[in-house]
Structure 1
Amino acid sequence: MKNLKIEYVHDIDCSWCPINYANLKTAIKALNDEVSVEIEFLPYEVKPNFKVEGEKISTHLMKLNGWNEQQHAEYRESLLRTAAQAGVKIDFSKRTHYYNTSLGHRLVHFASLSNKQAAMNELLIEGYFEKGLNPTKVDQLLELAARLDLDLGEAKQALTAQFQEPALVEKYQRARQITTRGVPALRINGKQVVIGTRPPEYFIDLLRNIET
Structure 2
Amino acid sequence: MQRLVIDLVSDVVCPWCYLGKARLELAIAEVQDEVSVDINWRPYRLNPDYPPEGVDQQAELAKKLGGKENMDRAHAQLTELGKEVGIAFDFDAIRVGPNTMDAHRLIHWAGTESREAQEMVVSSLFKANFEQGLNVGDPAVLLDIAAAAGLDRKVIEQLLKSDADRDLILSEIDAAQQMGVNGVPFFIIDQKYAVSGAQPAQVLANAFREIAAEKAEEQRKLN
TM-score between both structures, scaled by the size of structure 1: 0.91
Preserved CA contact (<8 Å) 1:10 1:44:
yes
**Per-residue deviation at 1:177?**
4.0
**Distance verdict in 2 for CA 1:6–1:28, change over 3 Å:** same
- Name stretches of at least 5 consecutive residues in structure 2 with no aligned partner: 216-223
Greater mean deviation of Cα atoms: 75-84 or 30-39 = 75-84
**Could you tell me which residue of structure 2 aligns to residue 61 of structure 1?**
61
Structure 1 counterpart of 2:157, one-letter code: K
Structure 2 counterpart of 1:136, one-letter code: G
What is the rounded CA distance, in whole Å, between the counterparts of 1:88 and 1:179 in structure 2? 29
Greater mean deviation of Cα atoms: 168-177 or 85-94 = 168-177
**Per-residue deviation at 1:118?**
0.7
**Per-residue deviation at 1:178?**
4.3
**Distance verdict in 2 for CA 1:101–1:165, change over 3 Å:** closer
Output aligned runs, 1:21-60, within 5 Å: 21-60=21-60
What is the rounded CA distance, in whole Å, between the counterparts of 2:82 and 2:15 in structure 1? 9
**Per-residue deviation at 1:186?**
1.1
**Could you tell me which residue of structure 2 aligns to residue 88 of structure 1?**
87
- Residue by residue over 1:14-58, the C-alpha shift from the partner in whole angstroms, topping out at 9 and shown as x without a partner, is 111010011011001000111001100000011011013423333
Greater mean deviation of Cα atoms: 165-174 or 96-105 = 165-174
Greater mean deviation of Cα atoms: 168-177 or 144-153 = 168-177
Q: Which structure: larger Rg?
A: 2
Preserved CA contact (<8 Å) 1:4 1:37:
yes
What is the rounded CA distance, in whole Å, between the counterparts of 1:179 and 1:86 in structure 2? 29
Count of matched residue pairs: 211
SS of 1:39 mapped into structure 2: strand
Q: Which has the higher helix share?
A: 2
**Could you tell me which residue of structure 1 aligns to residue 145 of structure 2?**
144
**Distance verdict in 2 for CA 1:179–1:153, change over 3 Å:** farther
Greater mean deviation of Cα atoms: 114-123 or 83-92 = 83-92
Preserved CA contact (<8 Å) 1:178 1:193:
no
SS of 2:131 mapped into structure 1: helix
Structure 2 counterpart of 1:143, one-letter code: D
Q: Which runs of 4+ in 1 moved over 6 A?
A: none
**Could you tell me which residue of structure 1 aligns to residue 110 of structure 2?**
111
**Could you tell me which residue of structure 1 aligns to residue 208 of structure 2?**
207
TM-score between both structures, scaled by the size of structure 2: 0.87
What is the rounded CA distance, in whole Å, between the counterparts of 2:180 and 2:54 in structure 1? 24
